[in-house]
Amino acid sequence: PPDWSGLKKVVAPGAFVVPTQVNYVAAGGSLYAPGEFPTGADSVVKRFLSLDYLWNRVRVQGGAYGGSCQFNPVSGTFVFSSYRDPNLEDTLTAYSEAAAWMKALDVEPAELTKAVVAAIGDLDGPSTPDQKGSKSLRHFLDGTTDEARQKHRDEVLAATPADFRRFADRLAALKTTPAVFASAAAVEAANAKGANLAVTKLL
């Protein structure tokens, strides 16, 4: 895999203030250090986290239009995000509590199967010709071989509850940097609760 250790780390300001009635709340960081190797099972856990915890906590309970997480197995970065979210600080709190929720989780076989199917769907979903070309270019640029892709697929299919516990340990140690687009009032309210978001006013 590529060596990312020489890249300059860019830390985004905490909050971009814009005229909006809803917020877009993200927080992420490096789940894997350079030289460490993620497994395909991480894609299964990521899918489960989006389909269960974030769906219920951020969307159903919090009222956001959407909530999910993304994991890049090449760079090792992991990001939580919400879309058209009426909350800010509460959503950041939900992100910070995800690891504890996962550590206490007892994954049922049916739920594990659903997450595996979802992760395989991400790999095998229909693609237009331009999407196929984009994927091929990305694999070429990041050095992903056919053998590596097959290994990833095999690890997705072999995911177990132990992979969830391992991922939870990494998630608990993750140091996230928040980056949000929100109104001035929402940022002010979040900072009053201790969010400590640096502010950049865009509009």
pLDDT at 113: 94
pLDDT at 141: 87
Whole-model pTM: value is 0.87
- Is 19 buried (19+), middle (13-18) or exposed (0-12) by CB count in 10 A? exposed
Measured between alpha carbons, how far is residue 172 from residues 128, 181, 182 in Å? 38, 25, 26
- Phi–psi pair at 70, nearest 5 degrees: -130, 145
CB 76 within 8 A of CB 30: yes
Which stretches in the chain have pLDDT values below 70?
A: 1-13
pLDDT at 202: 87
pLDDT at 126: 85
